[in-house]
Amino acid sequence: MLESQFIKSDDILILVVDDELVNRLYIKKALENEGYSVLTVENGQQAIEMANKHIFSLIVMDVMMPVMGGYDACIALRMQEHKLNVPIIMLTALDDIESVEKSFDAGATDFVVKPVNLPIFKQRVRHGLKTHETDVALFNHQLRLVHAHKVARLGYWDWDLKNNHLYWSDEVFNIYGLSSEVKEINYERFLDKVYEDDQDKIDYATRKSLSDGEPYSIEHRVLLPNGEFKYIHQHAELIKNEEGQVIRMLGIAQDITERHLAQEKIQHLAYYDSLTDLPNRTLFHDRLNHALERAGRSEEEVAVFLIDLDRFKKINDSLGHDIGDLFLQSVADSLKKSTRSADTISRLGGDEFALVIEGVLSEEGVLEVARKTLDALLTTHIIQGNELISAGSIGISISSNENRHKESLIKQADLAMYKSKEEGGNRFSFYNKEMKSRAHQMLILENELRKALEKNELVVHYQPKVCVKTDKIMGMEALIRWQHPEKGLIPPTDFVPIAEETGLIVPMGMWILEEACKQTSKWHQEGFSDLIVSINISAKQFHSKGFVDGIQKALIDSGITPQFVELEITESCTITDIDKTIRFLNAFRDMGMRISMDDFGTGFSSLSFLNQLPLDTLKVDRAFIKDINAEGENGELASLIIAMAKSLNLSVVAEGIETIHHLYFLQNSDCDEYQGFLASPPVEAKQFKELLILNLQKLAS
């Protein structure tokens, strides 16, 4: 019979199994005097039933009992997976080696000879409980480790080089798509699971590691039955014996497919236009560089085509940007079909395309390509029921022994393209020296721009940055404009490139900084005390002499608190000298200023440096926002960049927010702030103050 028994839930629980009542009570009292909770039963069968109802820290069990003896009960308990680590102390009246061995063979942890010597017995119990505590901690640690490996898709392996036997953890079997029931795993079988094109690479890395005695890290692919790839990161270390001979290789394998695909998306985004999927400006420059390098080693030359669509603005203005985008995609398809696979057709932005032709032996060959390109442009496109005819103006320049400079060829093609436009469009023009007259006009504009600095013709406009959640204006971006006395307000696209080329961007940039700090300080004094002003810093300005001193002077002269100034840099600031960049940015952070990465995602190098840079904010370029529709589609890349920024504890500002569904998307994507025409275009200081007042009234109502 089972005695009436009570359990303290927080205590250590011990089960005593003995068919003799006196023994049970004697041992129970001794254990309870030690502070343990104790349950008792009189045979092995009852012990198994009790063990299925409670979790015991230790079991004390007599060997000789009716119904089921201690040996059989011990074996039965050990067959239950959750009882494997419970210490079992066997009580035996037989003090001989055979009984002891039989106890241990049955799964016992320890034994005590009857009659029980209490001091020895208590010591054995304490030792058993300590062992159990250690086993439980180890088991939980291993359980957490296995779970962590599963979450991280990380497995480990152990290669016995002498026997050519590989031990794989369960997660490695999952990674390589093998059943864990596979008995024989060796190096050859592992190599067979690697994608065929990567087998030589990993075999070479393995053999070199064994030869040099050095670890290796490598990435390779596994081809899945559905034809898709799984990307694996493999790292291995060598184990040597006392004689210094390599006897084993230990390694980890991690499934990095998701990370690889995400990086692939961002890299593709860096080099390809998001609308047409053509190479973008960055990749165009890169391929032109390589083409010119190859031309320098051969007798063949390179032709550069710059293509500007005729009357595209009318399509945008009359039918809207959505139709305009679909039209650009259709034009891009036509151009792709008309070019050779060896040539590069790119979209540089807006309605401007470019073509790099390699292997040019004569102007006649280029002429033929020009005619084909013009024919491809002169195509009818049916866009949502609208019949639209495309046409383009093409400018062409050809490299030579005297001129294989990328910038020069692009400028020449640009001059030729404007010549085609001046002549009515739908034509191509080869560059000639007479076209330099246009360059002369650009020189005039440059001189006027220099005078604009002296005559105070430059003005600063401000575009609000609005909190996504509260709709409060948190700050503004300072943007330069040129108020020409005769030509009116000139947009920055018409003069900033000239300023960049001539170096005027350096004094212009410092002037903007000084003006914006003064104006923001004034608004702070007028009650708008938490506004943060963001100021763009060009690469030339960033790396110019005296830049840091100029920043300090602007802060002191304006009286603004540095924490309300945010410097916006682009990746072009970082790629020249990363160490200098980090040093400068840390200096600005030490002053109290904030640092923002502008136009993130439009290049690639910023991604590799992102972790190193002391940043506060990441700005999502309008290129990733503009195609998001009312259903939130086409926002995957924007979501990816926002999530990446959040993982780095950066705040996020989205640019180019023009519609309410753009804002809805940001509200669902954990974005912090936005700027764009939905809130307001850039406006003069007076108008911006009116926006601030209206915003306060709106928030108060």
286-317, pLDDT tens digit by residue?
A: 999 999 999 888 888 999 999 999 888 778 76
Q: Which residues contact 274 (CB under 8 A, 6 or more apart)?
A: 623, 624, 627, 637
Is the pLDDT at 441 greater than 80, yes or no?
no
* Cα–chain center distance at 636: 13
CA distance 204 to 638: 40
Question: What does the alpha-carbon distance between residue 643 and residue 370 come to, in Å, rounded to a whole number?
Answer: 45
H/E element, 410: helix 406-422
Any idea which architecture 153-255 has in CATH?
Answer: 2-Layer Sandwich (3.30)
Q: What is the pLDDT of residue 218?
A: 86
> What is the rounded distance in angstroms from the CA atom of residue 184 to the CA atom of residue 186?
7
Q: Measure the CA dihedral 57/63/32/42, to 10°.
A: 100
Please provide the DSSP assignment of 581-594 as one string.
HHHHHHHHHHHT-E
pLDDT for the residue numbered 138: 61
Question: For a pLDDT cut of 90, what percent of the chain falls above it?
Answer: 36
Q: Write down the residue that tokens 């939905």 correspond to.
A: 678
Question: Model confidence over 332-352: pLDDT tens digits?
Answer: 999 999 888 888 999 998 899
Structural class in CATH, domain 263-431: alpha beta
Distance from C-alpha of 508 to C-alpha of 616, rounded to nearest angstrom: 25
Mean of the pLDDT values across residues 220-234? 83
Separation of alpha carbons 425 and 418, rounded Å: 9
Give 61-76 pLDDT, tens digit per residue. Answer: 988 888 888 888 888 8
The phi, psi pair for 622, rounded to 5°, reads -60, -20
Higher local confidence (pLDDT), 516 or 546: 516
H-helix segments, 272-343: 281-296, 312-319, 321-338
Burial class for 207, CB neighbours closer than 10 Å (0-12, 13-18, 19+):
exposed
CA distance 368 to 424: 21
Tokens describing residue 636: 């995957």
Q: Is the pLDDT of residue 143 over 50?
A: yes
Domain edges within the chain? 13-144, 153-255, 263-431, 442-700
Interval 470-491 mean pLDDT: 91
pLDDT band at 179; cut points 50, 70, 90: low
216 within 8 A of 206, measured Cβ to Cβ: yes
CATH, range 442-700: 3.20.20.450
Rounded to whole angstroms, the Cα distance separating 347 from 528 reads 43
Cβ-based burial of 491 (10 A; exposed 0-12, middle 13-18, buried ≥19): exposed
The three-state (H, E, C) secondary structure of 226-253, written as one string = CCCEEEEEEEEEEEECCCCCEEEEEEEE
User: Mean pLDDT across the chain, nearest whole number?
Assistant: 85
Identify the three-state secondary structure at position 650.
coil
State how far the Cα of 578 lies from the Cα of 612, in Å rounded to an integer: 9
Q: What is the dihedral of CA 550, 551, 555, 558, to 10 degrees?
A: 50
**Where does the pLDDT of residue 691 fall: very low under 50, low under 70, confident under 90, or very high at 90 and above?**
very high
Helix (H) or strand (E) holding 174: helix 170-175
Q: Is the pTM of this model over 0.85?
A: no
Question: Which residues does 459 contact at the CB level (< 8 Å), separation at least 6?
Answer: 480, 481, 482, 483, 684
Tokens of 399: 């490299």
The CA distance from 236 to 251, in Å, is 4
Beta strand residue intervals within 431-554, DSSP E: 458-467, 473-484, 488-490, 532-536
Give the separation between CA 645 and CA 639, rounded to whole angstroms.
10
pLDDT per position as a tens digit, 342-389: 889 999 988 999 999 998 888 888 999 999 999 999 888 898 888 888
| 8 Å CB contact between 73 and 47 | yes
Q: Closest by alpha carbon to 306, among 177, 414, 178?
A: 414
Question: Given pLDDT bands bounded at 50, 70 and 90, which one contains residue 522?
Answer: very high
Residue 139 has pLDDT above 90, yes or no: no
**Domain 13-144 homologous superfamily, CATH:** Response regulator (3.40.50.2300)
Helix or strand run (H / E) with residue 633: none
- H or E element, residue 456: none
pLDDT digits (tens, 9 = 90+) for 1-30: 444 444 443 568 999 999 888 888 888 988
Query: Are the beta carbons of 312 and 353 closer than 8 angstroms?
Result: no
Dist CA 581 CA 310 (whole Å): 42
Cis peptide leading into residue 115 (ω within 30°): yes
Q: Which residues are CB-contacts of 384 (< 8 A; sequence separation ≥ 6)?
A: 323, 326
The single residue listed with the structure tokens 């190599």 is 191
Ranked by mean pLDDT, the top range of 69-83, 165-179, 546-560 is: 546-560
Query: Starting from the edge strand earliest in sequence, which strands make up the sheet with 110-113, in order?
Result: 37-41, 13-17, 58-62, 88-92, 110-113
